[in-house]
Structure 1
């Protein structure tokens, strides 16, 4: 199809004649060296014994076996083989067992228009909803009354939210 060493036509011209972009044409992929293939077999065998070894420990293990390898080379070979170390993920937040878990009500809801969903927090700031509230910028102490005041204030402009979260 495309001959890289054509005597007259360049690769760019051949791609243009066929009707494909030059970036769509790829030359033959490079294969791994015999040493890398041997290293991949060793990595695979060791990974079956110690699946918690990452690239650093695997490189150290292979250096102890007498191979002159670096971590980046081992990381590349492990990624090519699809191997990732198995380890426990950090648990940065551990919920208290007696606390109630609140459901996320908007998980399966598709929001299709503006003002379809409103979210109210613990308090409502007067500058956020443009409501004349007492106590200035600190909002109202009672969240339900603040939300009701916002809904009552915003009523004439549109029909309001269908979901109040």
Structure 2
């Protein structure tokens, strides 16, 4: 066994390691933090620790920081170097400042959010039309790689007319060559939010609030398959039946 591990370049401790599911308390903390962040995205680890303590949980700041990293939460306030870009990925300018959105397929946007389940978590990517607010495609994944984002993009490009502008944040999934090359081949203008400017992509941020408050926080999901089916049903209802006040 030692020789086999040497040949494969892995340690024996890694070979025998058995992953442990997060405890019930930790899943509750993750859910509470995710809910509170939707209400107060300016909360950092200090305020989030204070909030959890008011809910009866004895936590220290180090644990809160770890859980916030796991959720991908970062307090919104002006600061230098909010996010580091991949050195080999090009960052594109924001093209939507002052632009009137007057028709479907004029602007599409995308983003990724975190979804908790009973024993673990998943990530959801969605592509939305800014004018109609329709969710054009989506994917659920247990990893934050570029491929599930690319699959959602390819589906949207195959099902709908090509948009004029495609907007995203500067996340490594959306700056990856595979993702931007797909847009370039379709001759779509690429737009990216400024660092730390969550309101540049406000419509899809509002979508995440709806998904979580109207679906995720109301049900207990057993696994990724159950989650995907419920997300599919919700998006079908969202696109076809849910009223949008702004659109009449």
TM-score for both structures, normalised by structure 1: 0.42
Q: Which has the higher strand share?
A: 2
Query: TM-score by structure 2 length?
Result: 0.29
Q: Which has the higher contact order (CA 8 A, sep 6+)?
A: 2
Q: Which has the higher helix share?
A: 2
Structure (1 or 2) with the larger CA radius of gyration: 1
